[in-house]
Amino acid sequence: MNVEKTPIEQPVTSDDAELLHDLLEKTSRTFALSIPELPEPTLREVTIAYLLFRIADTFEDATVLWSKPKRLEVLGEFADLLREPSVERARERVAAWLADPPVDHDGYLELLEKTPDVVAAFLSLSPPAREAISRHTIRTSELMASFVEHTDERGVLQLEGLPRLRDYCYAVAGIVGEMLTELFVLGRDNLEPVLDYLRERAALFGEGLQLVNILKDSATDATEGRHYLPSGVDRTEVFALARRDLEAAAEYCLAIQQAGGPNGIVAFTALPVELAWATLDRVERKGPGSKISRAEVFFLHRRMHKAIASGRPVLQSVGR
């Protein structure tokens, strides 16, 4: 009998969960809080997926220290690495990337240094999880490169019009929502009946979270050459779009809960929506740069878990 061999190397590594979580904490406050809610193996899959997406984000964001051709080159290299993942190839690429670092953020630089470890962890996943993660990460890397192509000689990106803003949000966040949906349903037959419903809202979920970040960070982004808010578009339109998207995100979370999805997935999806609602309200009242406090995060986190434990709808956002 002929047995088909998996055409990837199988790395021999020690338990890397602590390393992956440490990298997560150093690169994302929100996801470091929500990803641990997930059940295994989804927790490991989403952690690795987030770190790979964060590597691509780091290259796309390197507007200050890297030229436009350099960013395009490395985004292409990263996509190629995911097409043919190899720990040794990752080591070779990292040496070149860090010879001329793209950013000065310690957490992002450590993540780049540990790319071979992240690739090794990726190679340890099940074939369906690897396929979903690599396919979507390659898509986002290629779409990010298309936006880098449209920056000027100084690396400045100026989005024109609301449709173009939505295209950008899809490239960097909507695809994430689509990938997460695929990972959530792996091996969970009870989510199959709501899969189409989730897919209809997955990209809007990502778009909503990204719009909140864009509105919150608009002032600092502008100083680094990123003008995501289109000129000539009233910010009230962007706030209204973000609110519609967060409604769709809340519907997504509630569908998983009502279908009997794992409490950890319900919590993972609901917490960013609650935080985004609160942040959006704060930014609309007080302007860019406004954030919610740690005490408010704790309160929302506790309220969410109480709702899940009592069987009540996890979100109260719908209809705000």
Contact 33, 302 (CB under 8 A): no
CATH code of 16-152, in short, is 1.10.600.10
Note the pLDDT tens digit of each residue in 273-289: 999 999 999 999 999 99
pLDDT (0 to 100) of residue 130: 98
Which position has the higher pLDDT, 8 or 167? 167
Q: Report the percent of the chain where pLDDT is more than 70.
A: 94
Same topology for domains 16-152 and 156-320, yes or no?
A: yes
Q: Which own/partner contact pairs does 158-163 have at CB distance under 8 Å and 24+ positions apart?
A: 158/227, 158/231, 159/227, 159/228, 159/229, 159/230, 160/230, 160/231, 161/230, 161/232, 161/233, 162/230, 162/233, 162/237, 162/238, 162/241
Binned at pLDDT 50, 70 and 90, residue 317 comes out as low
Exposure of 38 by Cβ count < 10 A (0-12 exposed, 13-18 middle, 19+ buried)?
Answer: buried
| DSSP structure class, residue 193 | G
Beta carbons within 10 angstroms of residue 240's beta carbon = 11
Give the separation between CA 75 and CA 148, rounded to whole angstroms. Answer: 10
Token reading at 129: 């999880």
Give the separation between CA 129 and CA 45, rounded to whole angstroms. Answer: 7
pLDDT at 54 over 60: yes
Which position has the higher pLDDT, 74 or 233? 74
Taking the domains of the chain in order of start, what are their residue ranges? 16-152, 156-320
Give the separation between CA 216 and CA 282, rounded to whole angstroms. Answer: 9
Note the pLDDT tens digit of each residue in 32-49: 889 999 999 999 999 999
pLDDT (0 to 100) of residue 193: 96
Residue 114 has, within 13 A of its CA and on its CB side, a CA count of: 24
Contact 99, 65 (CB under 8 A): no
Helical axes 17-27 vs 106-113, angle rounded to 10°: 150
pLDDT (0 to 100) of residue 53: 97
Note the pLDDT tens digit of each residue in 156-182: 888 889 999 999 999 999 999 999 999
Enclosing H/E stretch for 226: strand 226-227
Helices (H) and strands (E) in the chain, counts: 14, 2
Among 52-61, 155-164, 256-265, name the one with the lowest average pLDDT.
155-164
Give the separation between CA 5 and CA 301, rounded to whole angstroms. Answer: 45
- What's the whole-number mean pLDDT along residues 110-132? 97
CATH code of 156-320, in short, is 1.10.600.10
Which position has the higher pLDDT, 268 or 9? 268
Token reading at 272: 């960013």
CA 288 to chain centroid, in Å, comes to 21
Q: What is the pTM of this model?
A: 0.90
Beta carbons within 10 angstroms of residue 284's beta carbon = 15
Give the separation between CA 186 and CA 192, rounded to whole angstroms. Answer: 9
- What's the whole-number mean pLDDT along residues 127-133? 98
